[in-house]
Amino acid sequence: MPLTMERQVEQRFLWFFEDLLVCDQKGALLFEEPPSKDEMFRLPVAEYLGFHIYLCSLAHLPEGVDEQSLTPLRSLLVEADSERFNLLSRAAQLHTWHRNHQYCSRCGSDRVEHGYDLAAHCQACDYRQYPRISPCIIVLVTKGERCLLAHASHFPEGRYSTLAGFIEAGESAEEAVRREVMEEVGIEIKNIRYWRSQSWPFPHSLMLGYFAEYKSGVLKPDGKEILAADWWSPDQLPDLPPSFAISRQLIDHFVGQSLGQVG
Q: Which residues bind Zn ion (CB under 5 A)?
A: 104, 106-107, 109, 122, 124-125, 127
CA trace torsion 180, 183, 189, 191 (10° rounding): 10
The least CB distance from residue 130 to Zn ion, in Å, is 14
CB-based contact 255:240 (threshold 8 Å): no
Length of the chain counted residue by residue: 263
121 or 143, CB closer to Zn ion?
Answer: 121
The least CB distance from residue 122 to Zn ion, in Å, is 3
Q: Is 49 left (phi over 0), alpha (psi -120 to 50) or beta?
A: left
The least CB distance from residue 129 to Zn ion, in Å, is 9
111 or 224, CB closer to Zn ion?
Answer: 111
CB-based contact 86:200 (threshold 8 Å): no
76 or 118, CB closer to Zn ion?
Answer: 118
Sheet arrangement for strand 120-122: 112-114, 120-122, 128-129
121 or 146, CB closer to Zn ion?
Answer: 121
The least CB distance from residue 24 to Zn ion, in Å, is 39
Residue 22 host element (H or E): strand 20-22
Q: Whole-angstrom Cα distance, residue 124 to residue 105?
A: 12
| Residues linked to residue 138 through DSSP beta bridges, in sequence order | 164, 209
3-class SS of residue 172:
coil
46 or 118, CB closer to Zn ion?
Answer: 118
108 or 238, CB closer to Zn ion?
Answer: 108
The least CB distance from residue 131 to Zn ion, in Å, is 17
The least CB distance from residue 44 to Zn ion, in Å, is 23
Distance of CA 98 to the CA centre of its chain: 16
The least CB distance from residue 124 to Zn ion, in Å, is 5
46: exposed, middle or buried (Cβ count in 10 Å: 0-12, 13-18, 19+): middle
72 or 115, CB closer to Zn ion?
Answer: 115
